[in-house]
Amino acid sequence: MKRLPRRNRLSVLRCCLAAVLVGLCLIPGGALAAETSAGKVVIIAIDQIGLQELNDSGTPALKALIKRGAVGLMSVHAGSNGDMSAQYTAIGAGDKVAGILVKSNLSASATVLEGFGARERIDNRFASDIYLERTGKSAYYPKAANLSISALVIANTTGDFNGVPGALGTALRGAGLKTAVIGNSDTADAYGRSAIDLLMDETGVVDFGYLDGSTLLADPAFPSGKRTDTDKVEAMFAAAYSRADVIAVDWGDTDRVRADREFMTGGREKTLIKKSLGRADLFLQKVISEMDLSRDLLIVVAPTPSAPDIKNNRLVAPVIMAGAGINRGLLTSPSTRRQATIINTDIAPTILHHFSLAQPTEMTGRVVSGQAYDGDTLSYALAVSDSWVEVRDLMPILLRGFAYWDIFVLVLFIALLLRRRWRRWAAKGRWILLTVPALPLAFLLLPLLGYGSTTLAALEAIALVVALIALVRWQARSPMEAVGLIGLGVMATVLIDLGTGSHLMQNSLLGYSVLAGARFYGIGNEFAGVLTGAVLLGALYVVSAGGRAAGTWRKIMMLIVLAVPLAMMGAPNLGAEFGTLLADVAGFGLMALGITRGGYKIRDILSLAIMGLLGIIAFVGFDVTRGAAGGSHVGRLVTQIGAEGAAPFFTIVNRKVAMNLKLIQFAFWNWVNVVSIGVAALSFYGLRNLLELVFQRYEYVKAALVGGLFCCIGALVLNDSGVVTMAMILLYLVPALLFLMSYELGDEAGGL
């Protein structure tokens, strides 16, 4: 066969290449999107169910999935407006968000309409036309759109909200990945289309939407007379699985049962929930059979807790993950650093991580992983949930009792000291003062004993305090040593717990409450304040022991006592309490400066400020290099400021101010601050002679008070709950000061 000339051969090659390119362009986008190296992600939302209901139901597919993957409890405190549609939006935003109405009436006057397919009709109008009217953008079949996306965006531009609705969908679309949403939770008189918020982009659109009534089956025995049509949803899922990379399925039936629960007996509600879970389990079996869990990721989640759980303060929802990247065991994330615990904002970063996509700076969630656990993971998660409820129920009573005890003790002793003829009573009962700084240690150790009833927990706390005071009184040879031993004991216990996983703090009455939806789980504002106050007393004792003039070694030891807690408090993988870290750098630095230099010179203060600033810059720089998925909220903030300007910084400032103003108005800890400051002021003006004697005997007390004052001011200004942190610091400084003053009463003071 005669060969073509070289020029002709090149022409044929070009034509073939052009034909291939044209062919690729003609292939539907979904078909290309289905071939991703990372596999697909499937989210099945079975809303308003509890972990106990999963445990009690006959759901073999769910139970097998739990054994194969990992189970956890999800904090769902996403929006402060109490609107549960915010939970769906928070998952899709990867951050705390405001929601809009959960459901909308089926009428022409309804203004809040969420997910609708482009061809779906509302009062004889196509959903695509309503979307175009409201946004000026087009959404054609087979797309679906959140028709109220503009209202949702506006709701998140003000108040205590930082999230971007649709951030997950936008990131997926930017990578060329396709999204699909199937099913609804419609009732007889209201739409239930919040599932679109899981995967929509920032314009409110998903690539494929199967949201209309065709997913439902008439059933007169079921609430609203309709339920999810398993066969139809299975067929829609098969179609979506071949075209999309991320698919969300709203099972809907559990929502419909909860919507009518007030008209049912408890037994009927349980029966219908069990039947709904049974049908969902059959659907899950079909899904698992179509998926390749060596490449794909399957997430079964209840975006909101069940009504019975909410009634019982069990404000977490179950989540199960299995497939690529998830080890068998218990779910956890850097957001919580707790076994079997994640936040709803962690799901979006986990999906992006599955596709090896960068996490947007506006997402505060972290990547979820499975933590190995050999036992029954479902039983463990249930036990953890029960313990949280137990602690949450005890908190209001015991913490208020602690605050009121502190106030009572301070008022009592300042009154006794101000009246000369009552001072002998102050001398006799002065050890009562040290019960105040000892109580946080008792609360930290209390989980080792177990809580039981409120009365039992209170008696255990009292017993621990009495034992601690007796031990200190037995060991201490001077008033300063008594104060210092308590400070060092509290400091050492907190740091040891912090370095070994914070297991005691996580279950302490002064710890973070998962049920309250704490945004980030580090050392926490309460124990950050406790640690700060304890360190001030411990460092004061170390430098004051053995006489008035401290030698070089005691000053070095003091610096170590001050430095180690700073390092652990600021470490992103340990304390992660940046606001208190900044405050303590200033306060501890001023204390050290006053002791080592014998006073405060402008040059020394500037040098201290520069060194502190350089240390903080180094810390933040290291944190930024860890990326959005690994760094703390501080590193993410710096990255976000670099990308968006100063707006994120001012948003956080506004949030901190708003939170502290709220706490000042309502928190009982604010009364601790008011009384503590009042008692300190009376000591300086009404008991100046006693105070001068303390300063003469212990020359470094004045520097410790200056440092403590700056710690308090910094904590108040820089923390979301600075009122609480400040109260914790003061309940160490003020009782200790009164205790030292009680030994300067002359003949009334007596021995130790």
* HEC sequence for 133-191: HHHCCCCCCCCEEECCHHHHHHHCCCCCCCCCCCHHHHHHHHCCCCEEEECCCCCCCEE
Answer yes or no: do 62 and 99 share one domain. yes
Answer yes or no: do 317 and 449 share one domain. no
- Is 18 domain-assigned? no
Show the low-confidence residues of the chain (pLDDT under 50): 1-36, 79-82, 84, 102-109, 629-630, 747
The answer to whether the Cα torsion of 491, 494, 498, 501 is positive or negative is positive
Answer yes or no: do 291 and 439 share one domain. no
CA dist., res. 706 & res. 608, Å (int): 15
pLDDT at 30: 36
Domain assignment of residue 492, given as a range = 384-748
CATH code where residue 86 lies: 3.40.720.10
* Closest residue by Cα to residue 670 from 730, 732, 718, 714: 730
- Is 6 domain-assigned? no
- Are the C-beta atoms of 187 and 259 separated by less than 8 Å? yes
Q: How many CB atoms lie within 10 A of CB 310?
A: 14
Answer yes or no: do 477 and 454 share one domain. yes
- Is 332 domain-assigned? yes
CA dist., res. 382 & res. 393, Å (int): 17
CA dist., res. 93 & res. 199, Å (int): 9
Tokens found for residue 401: 């009792």
Answer yes or no: do 371 and 426 share one domain. no
**Do the bridges between strand 246-250 and strand 41-45 make them parallel or antiparallel, or are there none, so unpaired?**
parallel
pLDDT at 550: 64
Output the DSSP codes for 408-464: HHHHHHHHHHHSGGGHHHHHHTGGGGGHHHHHHHHHHHHHHH---SHHHHHHHHHHH
**Do the bridges between strand 70-75 and strand 316-323 make them parallel or antiparallel, or are there none, so unpaired?**
antiparallel
Domain boundary among 375, 396, 428: 375
Task: Find residue 179's DSSP bridge partners.
Answer: 246
What are the two backbone dihedrals, phi and then psi, of residue 319, each rounded to the nearest 5 degrees? -145, 140
Tokens found for residue 100: 């809009």
pLDDT at 337: 81
Q: What is the DSSP letter of 223?
A: G
pLDDT at 242: 93
Task: Find residue 228's DSSP bridge partners.
Answer: 216
* Closest residue by Cα to residue 556 from 564, 548, 567: 564
CA dist., res. 291 & res. 287, Å (int): 6
Answer yes or no: do 599 and 693 share one domain. yes
CA dist., res. 706 & res. 599, Å (int): 11
CA dist., res. 279 & res. 179, Å (int): 25
Residue with tokens 């028709």: 147
- Is 550 domain-assigned? yes
- Is 23 domain-assigned? no
Answer yes or no: do 510 and 565 share one domain. yes
* Closest residue by Cα to residue 206 from 237, 235, 175, 177: 177
Helix, strand and coil content of the chain, in percent to the nearest 5, comes to 60, 10, 30
Answer yes or no: do 322 and 465 share one domain. no
CA dist., res. 117 & res. 127, Å (int): 7
Domain boundary among 375, 396, 416: 375
What are the two backbone dihedrals, phi and then psi, of residue 547, each rounded to the nearest 5 degrees? 140, 175
Domain boundary among 375, 403, 418: 375
Output the DSSP codes for 594-608: HHHHSS--HHHHHHH
Answer yes or no: do 420 and 532 share one domain. yes
Please tell me the total count of domains within the chain. Answer: 2
Residue with tokens 């031990």: 471
CA dist., res. 83 & res. 623, Å (int): 34
Triad 297, 299, 302: Cα angle to 5°: 175
Q: What is the DSSP letter of 124?
A: T
Answer yes or no: do 562 and 502 share one domain. yes
CA dist., res. 524 & res. 104, Å (int): 39
CA dist., res. 70 & res. 663, Å (int): 38
Answer yes or no: do 168 and 220 share one domain. yes
Answer yes or no: do 292 and 438 share one domain. no
- Is 16 domain-assigned? no
- Is 11 domain-assigned? no
* Closest residue by Cα to residue 130 from 170, 182, 121: 121
The alpha carbon torsion through 548, 549, 554, 559 (nearest 10 deg) reads 100
